[in-house]
Amino acid sequence: MGANDLDIKYEKNGKALVVELTIEKVIADWWLRHVVDQTTVQTWEGRTDDPHADVAAVNLATLKTGSSLNWLVLLYGPNKDMTIQVAIDVR
């Protein structure tokens, strides 16, 4: 596993696996993609300064062995040397 990879253990007793992104200090665009066997199942996107929550609800019925959730966060910071904390919460 890479430094930013998560191995998620879950139980199928609810409707969705919720992925929430928290990005401090700056405005950011983000994208999340659910892939199974190199096929995109669903995508989500958001921006931290809009009125919408920065969450994605992954339908548990679509999660299979080999599923992956890939994310990309584009940060808009005033200083390239600025330290930014990005948290990915999966529940």
pLDDT tens profile 16-74: 889 999 999 899 999 999 999 999 999 999 999 999 999 999 999 898 888 899 999 99
| Residue 42 β-bridge partners | 34
pLDDT value, residue 46: 97
User: Domain boundaries in the chain?
Assistant: 16-90
Here the tokens at position 31 are 């994208």
Closest CA to 69 of 50, 51, 56: 56
Band of pLDDT at residue 3, cut at 50, 70 and 90: low
pLDDT value, residue 4: 64
pLDDT value, residue 14: 77
Tell me the whole-structure pTM to 2 decimals: 0.83
> DSSP of 15-60, one letter per residue?
SEEEEEEEE-SSEEEEEEEEEETTEEEEEEEEETTSSS-SEEEEEG
